[in-house]
Structure 1
Amino acid sequence: MSVKILVVDDDAEIRDVLHIYLRNEGYQVVEAEDGVKALELLRHEQFDLIILDIMMPNLDGISACLKIRENSGIPIIMLSAKGEDIDKITGLSTGGDDYMTKPFNPLELIARIKALLRRQNYASLVQPTNEGEICIDDLVINKDYHQVTVRGKEVSLTPIEFSILELLAAHRGQVFSIDKIYQKVWKEQTAFFSENTVMVHIRNIREKIEVNPRTPQYIKTVWGVGYRIDK
């Protein structure tokens, strides 16, 4: 079965361009002109990935992303004409897995789509084992089922957030630089890398698993070096 991608953008020309490039890669493409239509489609169809513009009428991409994240961990790439760091942080903080600024290179977008789909496919292919859990105090990471519980309560992480947490938890005591986390999790070199991407995902994880994200119990910052989970 071919990969099915939902393209959400109010600009018909951008949708047309993306449709052509995605179809050339063998992907099935469905289009929506705003967040309202996208949410309607998601209620009736299954998709493997969403390309979601931020600036749209009726329901913008930020609001749509928040609604999607209420019950879905589907990979989402945010698009925006705004390139400021605060805009990227906002897009990633609402649950986006990646962010691209318009105008963008369609080939770069394809590369990022493939990277996210690889992560998603790996998660779905993992088979249960008897050693599928990592326990750190009251944090339990089930690698086989991609579930995380903290203090007995399940928390919802996006695929990228889970992969970052699993990486740090599986190598307790080891410090990972931002660059190394990106390479390990996204399975890409850093040609399209923005350090804010990793930093925002770390912040999102802390908001979900820490009692006080400002004084984290689990993911520690090693200033000037990177991040680690202590032994």
Structure 2
Amino acid sequence: MSASHLLVPAPVRVLVVEDDAVIRRAVQLALERYGYEVTVAGDGLDGLEAFRAGQHDLLILDVMLPGLDGIGLCRRIREESLVPVLMMSARGDALDVVSGLEAGADDYVVKPVDIGILVARIRSLLRRATFQPEPGPVPEAAAGPAQGGPLVFGDLTIDLLGLNVSRGGEPVLLSPTELRLLLAFAENPGIVLDRRRLLRDVWDYGWEGDTRVVDVCVVRLRKKVGADRIETVRGFGYKLLRN
């Protein structure tokens, strides 16, 4: 048997930062039963140290943490990495949710945590982090010099092959979620995409989700690709302007 047949996929490494010891242990055991390799920390500063000490595929951060809260921890992490981040909130409080998303989180769950929902969100985030766009026709008026070439919208250029984005010739760093959101718009230039469709196509929600996730991510994306590049169509959704 060749060596390649002996290789097994490396386990997905998850860092859980949660100050409640009971919840922390329950989440750890549940995720380990699903095959994840889990590291835990009990406060924000220990979480930051654990993040910097190891390579993680996904982070789960509680909002309310001692030392350094989850919002501050997420901001610090975003200064160094685009690793997927899932926030946990003790309540579906709008301020907690929006603050976490504005800090750079990709999604959130509400405690007490339903393990089935948690695992579904983790899988969705990991798919976003590793996806490749499906081959298909290049949108009219956005195509590069050849099929599969870069898409150009004004000063914004999207390299589909390399999954690179630049604005005015300068690279734009996007998280996996932000990149998928931009590609969803780029595949439908000038077409209004409603929030429910974006939740389904970008966040992989097979159920009703919180549309605030979409709104906050659009705000973050606008800051990177240009405030006027993505237009709000009130009562309907958003669209990417062609020029």
* TM-score, normalisation: structure 2: 0.86
For residues 1-231 of structure 1, the aligned pairs below 5 Å read 1-123=10-132, 131=148, 133-191=150-208, 193-210=209-226, 213=227, 216=228, 218-231=229-242
Would you say the 8 A contact 2:231–2:238 is kept in 1?
yes
Counterpart AA for 1:227: Y
Q: Is the 8 A contact 2:177 2:202 kept in 1?
A: yes
Alpha carbons of 1:145 and 1:15: their partners in 2 closer, same or farther (altered >3 Å)? farther
Alpha-carbon offset, residue 71 of structure 1: 2.0
Q: Within 2, Cα distance between the matches of 1:145 and 1:74?
A: 18
Match of 2:138? none
Q: Which residue type is aligned with residue 99 of structure 2?
A: T
For residues 174-212 of structure 1, give each alpha carbon's deviation from its aligned partner in whole angstroms, at most 9, with x where no partner exists.
211100011011222233x001110110011112222xx
**Per-residue CA distance 1:27-69 (angstroms, 9 max, x = gap):** 1101011121122122221111000011111111111111111
Structure 1 residue runs of 5 or longer lacking an equivalent are none
Structure 2 counterpart of 1:151, one-letter code: G
Is the CA contact 1:179–1:190 (under 8 Å) kept in the aligned structure 2?
no
Partner AA of 1:220 in structure 2: E
CA–CA distance in 1 between the matches of 2:191 and 2:99?
29
Superposition TM-score, scaled by structure 1 size: 0.90
1:152-179 CA deviation, whole Å, 9 max, x = no partner? 2222221111110111012112211100
- Which one-letter code corresponds to 1:68 in the other structure? I
Q: Which has the larger radius of gyration?
A: 2
CA distance in 1, matches of 2:26, 2:87: 16
Alpha-carbon distance in structure 2 between the residues aligned to 1:158 and 1:136: 20
Looking at structure 2, the residues matched to 49 and 132 of structure 1 have their Cα atoms a distance apart, in angstroms, of 31
- Structure 2 CA distance for partners of 1:189 and 1:153, relative to 1, 3 Å: same
Structure 1 residue 104 displacement after superposition: 2.4
Counting matched residue pairs gives: 223
Output the aligned Cα RMSD.
2.0
The amino acid of 2:161's aligned partner reads: D
**Could you tell me the percent identity over the aligned residues?**
38
1:132 and 1:143 in contact (8 A); partners too:
yes
Comparing both structures, which one devotes a greater share of its residues to helix? Answer: 1
CA-CA distance at 1:130 after TM superposition: 7.6
Give, in angstroms, the shift of residue 10 of structure 1: 0.8
Report the 3-state secondary structure (helix = DSSP H, G, I; strand = E; otherwise coil) of the residue aligned with 1:189: coil
Please tell me whether the aligned partners of residues 182 and 190 of structure 1 are also in contact (alpha carbons under 8 angstroms). no
- Which residues of structure 2 form unaligned runs of 5+? 1-9, 136-145
- SS for the counterpart of 2:190 is coil
